[in-house]
Amino acid sequence: MNIRFINMLIVMAMILLAGWQRGAGSAVQAAGSLLDDQQQQSQVCMRQFEMTVRQGPSAGLQLAGTLVLNVEPSGSINKGSLVLESGGEVRVTGQVTGRAINLLFDIGDGRLLFGVGTLENYISLCTGAMGGPLVGPRPGDLGDWAASDGQIIIDSQGRIFSAEFSRHDIRFQASFAAAQERFAGIRDVPGLVNGTRLQAQFNRPFGMAIDETRNLLYVADTVNQSLRRINLSTNQVTTVITSAQASAAGSVSVFGIRGVAVDLDGSLFISDYTNSVVWFFNTSTGNLRIIAGRAGMPGLQDGIGSAARFNKPEGVRIDSSGRNAIVSDPGNCAIRLVSSTGVVQTIGSTTCGTNP
């Protein structure tokens, strides 16, 4: 049996024996407060999350979305959830001990995922990345998970790119077993500077998308109201779309860029959280236009082009065809499908306010 799998099973047993549930928490609490600042109130921490099962019967299983952790003063996590980009919600429980974190994901039908990881900073600070190995949902399944306050991209080679929204840089790991390193931007130094990636500056980067065919990484640079591009071959950072370009193309006063996704042709779908629209950027011609929604008119309406309505769209992914975008629409608690011709359909929704 795989040694890593055995070790993970041992860790899971320790978690359960130590009191995973609230009623059995005395063994954990006996060690004293598990948070760095001895906080007496629960800490709510939200993170962009991605996980992949890489080996075993469930290889290829992926989950992505927003991880919401409600951490008690004891370090216990009893009211957590993973709000999936694809729609729906996964219940999350766990335990934080110093900079160690253990998470249990209940994905339904009796299937459980166990994640063991480390925190870059104490959970009470709610900054920095977290992540580690994953076991389940079936015997022999092994994978990895990561979470950050900006989007996380895991490419086909297993390379991990994390946008650090609160710290203004992009982090990189060659694999989950590798150490995390600064990839682009200067940590805690916001700005708008192009050039070599380690000298470039960003201001609250959030969404990202990787074009593996052309070896490009796109970054939604939110405060700068710009789309930035990192050429992974030359290590150069450039600004692709500015707020002035968006203003000219869509008659908007603010370019509220939040998410980005690359289609098969290398063109981009871009979510605009402020204006409640979805943009399309043809990278071959340089043409930028609003493909769905009407700027400044939020709502929930399927339709074509400007007849459709969104409410603060955020995360964007390309569907399996490589042509259409799946857009999270958190203001409507909905998941929308946007075709390359601007046809919008609601493919999933829930009642707003039901998530913890």
Strand 343-349: give its sheet, edge to edge: 303-304, 343-349, 334-338, 325-329, 316-318
Peptide bond into 298 cis (omega under 30): no
Taking the C-alpha atoms of residue 53 and residue 62, their distance in angstroms, rounded to an integer, is 7
The residue ranges of every structural domain in the chain are 1-147
Taking the C-alpha atoms of residue 135 and residue 4, their distance in angstroms, rounded to an integer, is 9
Q: Which pLDDT does position 125 carry in this prediction?
A: 57
Q: Which pLDDT does position 22 carry in this prediction?
A: 32
Whole-angstrom CA distances from 23 to 42, 103, 129, 317 are 17, 17, 30, 40
Q: Which pLDDT does position 352 carry in this prediction?
A: 64
Tens digit of each residue's pLDDT (9 = 90 or more) over 230-244: 999 999 999 999 999
Output the six-digit token pair for 115: 């994640």
Q: Please report, in tens digits, the pLDDT of each residue of the chain (356 residues total).
A: 443 433 343 333 333 333 333 333 322 232 223 233 333 456 777 788 888 898 999 998 988 888 888 888 888 998 888 988 777 889 999 998 888 899 999 998 889 999 998 887 676 656 667 888 999 999 999 998 888 878 888 888 888 898 988 889 999 988 877 888 999 999 999 999 999 999 999 999 999 999 999 999 999 999 999 999 999 999 999 999 999 999 999 999 999 999 999 999 999 999 999 999 999 999 999 999 999 999 999 999 999 999 999 999 988 989 989 999 999 888 888 889 999 999 999 988 766 654 33
Output the six-digit token pair for 93: 């429980």
Provide CB contacts within 8 A for 13, sequence distance 6+.
none
Q: How many helices (H) and strands (E) in the chain?
A: 3, 26
Burial 195-227, CB ≥16 within 10 A → b, else e: eebeebbbbbbbbbbbbeeeebbbbbbbebbbb
Q: Which pLDDT does position 88 carry in this prediction?
A: 81
Output the six-digit token pair for 193: 């500077």
1-147 has which fold? Lipocalin (2.40.128)
Residue 146: closest CA among 210, 63, 57: 63
Whole-angstrom CA distances from 317 to 128, 297, 336 are 23, 23, 11
Burial class (CB in 10 A: 0-12, 13-18, 19+), 317: middle
Tens digit of each residue's pLDDT (9 = 90 or more) over 222-231: 999 999 999 9
- 130: helix, strand or coil: strand
Percentage of the chain beyond pLDDT 70 is 84
Query: What is the residue whose two structure tokens read 């609160």?
Result: 166
Q: Which pLDDT does position 126 carry in this prediction?
A: 64
